[in-house]
């Protein structure tokens, strides 16, 4: 199983792309602007999109993906998200005002897109690949994901601030190899991180102290203008965990 990083930034500009990961060739984790770098052929074979939450940097290219390849496909694109996130997508994105409702195109019985509700702790198994929503703590309803190949697991936190329930769930994953965790702000913006329910380096260090396992740790969601500063602070405060900065184009096999 292979996970390819399409985008992992907290913003855009230059080579920065927002959050999106491609699992093998057919499963997308979030649909930020990184998705737009895929070819039409690559997009057309994506069958499943798992959404952590409804914020724009994680769904920006979802409407365009469905519009671009929906009618090229012979089966619906399945959008997997919690009930709360599905309601937001239906009310604010696929509502015929912001964007057409592709759950009704060309008709409700043969739509090019279909919603699939996911629930915390309940795994979705697709061809031997198991994706399990994990609890996180964000300003809107959100989840992280455990992605399990059977041999090893990767955890993606999505967007979160401090969350004991996340680390309790992560510590139960005995085959954990990789952890991708957000840090959206530098410590200079700690108040903003707390207000918006993100992490900053000092909060990240506190959260990692709850981790009882020793996976390889990668940092995502860095703000474009503060990448070097934030990573320097992370290395100062969480050096014992040897965190690395996640990179566009990076691949994980597990």
- Could you please report the per-residue DSSP string of 164-232? HHHHHHHTT-TTEEEEEEE--S-GGGHHHHHHHT---HHHHHHHHTT--S--EEEEE-B-GGGHHHHHH
State the pLDDT at residue 228. 97
For residue 9, what are the β-bridge partners? 18, 222
Domains of the chain: residue spans and CATH: 1-81+83-117 (3.60.15.10), 119-246 (3.60.15.10)
pLDDT digits (tens, 9 = 90+) for 179-190: 999 999 999 999
If residue 69 lies in a helix (H) or strand (E), which one and from where to where?
A: helix 62-69
136: left (phi over 0), alpha (psi -120 to 50) or beta: beta
- Averaged in consecutive runs of 10 residues, what is the pLDDT profile of the chain (254 residues)? 98 96 98 98 98 98 97 96 98 98 93 98 97 98 98 98 98 98 98 98 98 98 97 97 97 98
State the pLDDT at residue 108. 86
State the pLDDT at residue 57. 98
Nearest-angstrom CA–CA distance, 16 and 9: 6
């Amino acid at each position: 199983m292979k996970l390819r990083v399409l985008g992992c930034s907290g913003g855009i500009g230059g080579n920065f792309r927002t959050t999106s990961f491609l699992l093998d060739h057919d499963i997308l984790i979030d649909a930020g602007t990184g998705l737009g770098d895929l070819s039409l052929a690559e997009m057309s074979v994506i069958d499943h999109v798992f959404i952590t939450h409804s914020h724009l940097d994680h769904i920006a290219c979802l409407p365009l993906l469905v519009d671009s390849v929906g009618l090229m496909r012979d089966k619906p694109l399945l959008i997997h998200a919690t009930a709360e996130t599905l309601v937001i997508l239906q009310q604010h994105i696929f509502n015929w005002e912001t964007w057409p409702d592709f759950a009704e195109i060309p008709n409700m019985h043969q739509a090019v897109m279909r919603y699939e509700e996911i629930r915390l702790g309940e795994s979705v198994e697709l061809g031997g690949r198991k994706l399990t929503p994990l609890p996180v703590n964000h300003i809107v309803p959100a989840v992280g994901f455990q992605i399990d190949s059977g041999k090893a697991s990767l955890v993606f936190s999505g967007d979160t601030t401090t969350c004991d329930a996340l680390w309790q769930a992560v510590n139960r994953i005995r085959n954990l190899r990789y952890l991708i965790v957000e840090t959206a702000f530098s410590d200079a913006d700690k108040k903003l991180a707390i207000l918006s329910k993100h992490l900053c380096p000092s909060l990240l260090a506190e959260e990692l102290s709850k981790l009882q396992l020793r996976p390889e740790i990668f940092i995502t969601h860095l703000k474009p203008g503060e990448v070097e500063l934030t990573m320097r602070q992370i290395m100062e405060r969480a050096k014992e965990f040897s965190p690395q900065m996640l990179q566009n184009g990076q691949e994980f096999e597990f």
